[in-house]
Amino acid sequence: MAHDLLLANARVVLADRVIEAGWIAAMNGLIVEIGEGRAPAHAEDLGGDLLLPGLVELHTDHLEAHYVPRPKVYWDPVAAVVSYDGLLATCGITTTLDSLRVWREEGAEEVDGQAEILADAIAIARDADLLRLEHFLHLRCEVPMPSVVAETNALIGRADVRLVSLMDHTPGQRQFRDEGKLRDYYRSKNGGMTDAELDVLSSDYVPASLLMAALRLPTAVPNIGLAAAIRMVSKTPAEAVGLRDRGEIAVGKRADLIRVRLARDVPAVRSVWRAGRRVA
């Protein structure tokens, strides 16, 4: 059988276990076979590196740092998106929800009021086939701001909006200084959540931290194995926003894959495939 992508000699991390000497085959962007031991001929040898599902990032503010690298300095928004996209790819992220701040504050020197500009820039880059990742939108709506409803209405109908956050940064309110209180708050939501159910990780401002956190978690928390830790940055976040076609290495899932080598506990992403196509 001819395969579009055939990768072998890897530690393949599935959703529930790790294959220490595994191989995978993909056709037309989908995983079609997973095996152990000797792979079919002509496979690309990954030299014992980790083979993980592409990471799924639900919340990152890092695009803003590319668009406004310093106060009052604005770069071309499409160029900013392309630069940001390339960085996320080298961090192992294949699907991202770009966080856009939906509020406008007079006198602010940050990226307030720029959500529509950045959303349009992402769409332009996508249509021109300039992006390595698949990008969706995460609208972060600051409730006290007087223009938040109008600005949200201008964006909410876009097909790429997958997540909306309601925030209240009114001084002295809605903030957690104590980690225990934060955990208690989220455990009490939706009828109660266990520690095991609090399992989506996000990088926020540092995209490379997403993979590093997942790989270090099994050492920091003994009852979390490697497969469970990787789920927190792939399968679980994907399912949380309805993207059930990706997030795990399984037959029938999209071939979003990353090859990772560890050196002194620091992960280096060596190759990235999105839907079976190498993008980094």
The per-residue pLDDT for 191 is 57
**139 and 79, same domain (yes or no):** yes
Tokens standing for residue 267: 């992960």
- Give mean pLDDT, residues 188-217: 80
**In which element (H, E) is residue 263 found?**
strand 257-263
**59 and 162, same domain (yes or no):** yes
Is 199 within the bounds of a domain? no
**93 and 154, same domain (yes or no):** yes
**Is 60 exceeded by the pLDDT of residue 175?**
no
**94 and 127, same domain (yes or no):** yes
What type of residue is 178?
A: D
- Give mean pLDDT, residues 173-188: 62
**68 and 35, same domain (yes or no):** no
**Is 80 exceeded by the pLDDT of residue 177?**
no
The per-residue pLDDT for 110 is 55
The per-residue pLDDT for 207 is 93
**74 and 129, same domain (yes or no):** yes
CA dihedral 140, 142, 148, 153 (to 10 degrees): 30
**Is 90 exceeded by the pLDDT of residue 192?**
no
Last residue of a domain, one of 124, 155, 175: 175
How many domains would you assign to the chain?
A: 2
The per-residue pLDDT for 228 is 96
Is 196 within the bounds of a domain? no
Q: How many CB atoms lie within 10 A of CB 137?
A: 24
* DSSP single-letter state for residue 135: E
Q: Which domain holds residue 27?
A: 5-54+211-278
**244 and 267, same domain (yes or no):** yes
The per-residue pLDDT for 181 is 66
The per-residue pLDDT for 71 is 83
